[in-house]
Amino acid sequence: MSAVAPTTKSASVRVVQAAALVVVLGVLLLATQLAPEARSVVGSMAGLGVLLLAGTLTSELMEILKLPHLSGYLAAGFICGPHVLHLVDHDTVQRLQPVNGLTLALIALAGGAELKIEVIRRCARSVLWATVTQSTVVFFAAGGCFLVLARYTPFAQLEPMALFAVAVLWAILAVSRSPAALLGIFAQVRPKGPLAEFSLAFVMLSDLVVVVIMATAIALVRPLLDSGAEISLSSLRLLGHELLGSTALGVTLGLVLAAYLRVVGKNLLLMLLGLGVGMSELLRYIQLDAMLAFLVAGFVVENVSAQGPKLLRGIENTGAVVYVIFFALAGAHLDVPVLRTLLPVALALCVVRGVASFGAARLGSYLAEDDPMVRRWGWSGLVSQAGLTLGLSIVVVRAFPIIGDAFRTMAIAVVAINEVVGPILFKLGLDRAGESRGADEPEAAPSSVA
């Protein structure tokens, strides 16, 4: 996470970028109005290109407002997507979703390669206390809020015990974070300091804990949602198989990748693309966790070999494209009708989760005796939610079809809000802590922080 010298762009450059964005979107919109069949052409042949171009230009303009590039990617995807300009229609968004397999693979590889053993050792106490406080405070706050607001949700007609089971599943979902959003901010500002180290270690490691807790909870609450079901250990056995298998495959993949980087070291981009596409599909077929496997692979390359910097450089060369694709697609995929319908409840759930995350972060930092900047801004990286949270919601949908559609709809509404707000807060925290590229001077460290 080496620092990069800040670069500033003149007002004339910004004007040219804004004009280019307006011209590009205007020409495409005019084309689809004059020749409606062009929309299908754009959708089938150039949808990805539209998102890439619009996302890149919009992210540059976001720098004027000191907002993260991710906000620009999301905004571009939303504006070009099915609910605003219709330059990329719903069918195209669905067809492009498999591209996320590649992007998530590269994001996980980068995350693993950023996790150095010495960083984990330095942050071990902080991560331990943060995991305990976040997993308890956020869990009970989110679950309690869900029960209070249940009458305004699609679950209002459930029996009390079934509603309690849904609240437990929702509370676990609230504890999850977004590795993709965190690494997207890292790719932009290349932060260096205790806040960046803590955020990286905590988000990467705590989400593994969430995956385990969710699988365990599904096995335990099944009788509450299905009167004919009994508590079964088969889910726990499947979880153990998935975790051990994904870890073992990740270690093997990491060793192979390290050997390739050392012996060959050429055409790394093609190698990464092949791994991202091919291995993601293979892992999905054999029911292993692709994100965990690639995370472990990156960790092995960084800490077992001397090829970590080379791997990171290769991923960084594709970084801009990877994050534009992932978050522009996320923006295009935002379900506006769902969000509009559930907005009051979703906002309340997000606010309670955010406040609970803030309180738990301050408590954990106090117990761990963290650096003052981690105490003050450690919460800022814990708001974002994205692909992992939606992935967990899909697991719940498959396990309990009776509540599946409603549960996923709620998850989409909440994630949509946290996905927009979270990256902005994290970049603000890094800027105020003085750890991001081109950040202002850090705040004066207080003598003590409650």
What's residue 8's pLDDT?
Answer: 54
> Does 145 share its domain with 279?
yes
Tell me if 351 is assigned to some domain.
yes
Q: Token digits for 282?
A: 């293979």
- Tell me the pLDDT tens digit for each residue of 395-419: 787 778 888 777 877 887 888 888 8
What's residue 156's pLDDT?
Answer: 83
> Does 162 share its domain with 309?
yes
Q: Percent of the chain having pLDDT more than 90?
A: 19
Q: Is 433 or 246 the better-scoring residue by pLDDT?
A: 433
> Does 55 share its domain with 141?
no
Q: Report whether pLDDT(20) > 80.
A: no
> Does 176 share its domain with 46?
no
Q: Report whether pLDDT(140) > 90.
A: yes
Instruction: State how many domains the chain has.
Output: 2
Contact status, residue 352 vs residue 146, Cβ threshold 8 Å: no
- Tell me the pLDDT tens digit for each residue of 165-179: 999 999 999 998 888
Q: How far apart are the first and last CA of the chain?
A: 29
The model carries a pTM of 0.74
> Does 150 share its domain with 248?
yes
Q: How far is CA 5 from the centre of its chain?
A: 26
Q: Report whether pLDDT(1) > 50.
A: no
> Does 205 share its domain with 62?
no
Q: Is 420 or 96 the better-scoring residue by pLDDT?
A: 420
Which range in 166-180, 258-272, 281-295 is most confidently predicted, on average pLDDT?
166-180
> Does 222 share its domain with 255?
yes
> Does 329 share its domain with 426?
yes
| Local confidence band at 153 (pLDDT 50, 70, 90 cut-offs) | confident
Average pLDDT, the chain: 78
Q: Token digits for 387?
A: 């692909």
- Tell me the pLDDT tens digit for each residue of 182-194: 888 887 888 888 9
> Does 50 share its domain with 194?
no
| Local confidence band at 16 (pLDDT 50, 70, 90 cut-offs) | low
- Choose the final residue of a domain: 73, 96, 119: 96
Q: Report whether pLDDT(347) > 50.
A: yes
- Tell me the pLDDT tens digit for each residue of 208-219: 788 778 877 887
Asked whether the CA dihedral 158, 162, 166, 168 is positive or negative, the reply is positive
- Tell me the pLDDT tens digit for each residue of 32-65: 555 555 555 444 456 677 777 788 888 878 777 7
Q: Report whether pLDDT(357) > 80.
A: yes
- Choose the final residue of a domain: 96, 131, 148: 96
Report the C-alpha gap between 88 and 78 in whole angstroms. 10
> Does 82 share its domain with 136?
no
What's residue 3's pLDDT?
Answer: 38
Tell me if 44 is assigned to some domain.
yes
> Does 261 share its domain with 163?
yes
> Does 80 share its domain with 132?
no
What domain range is 148 assigned to?
Answer: 100-432
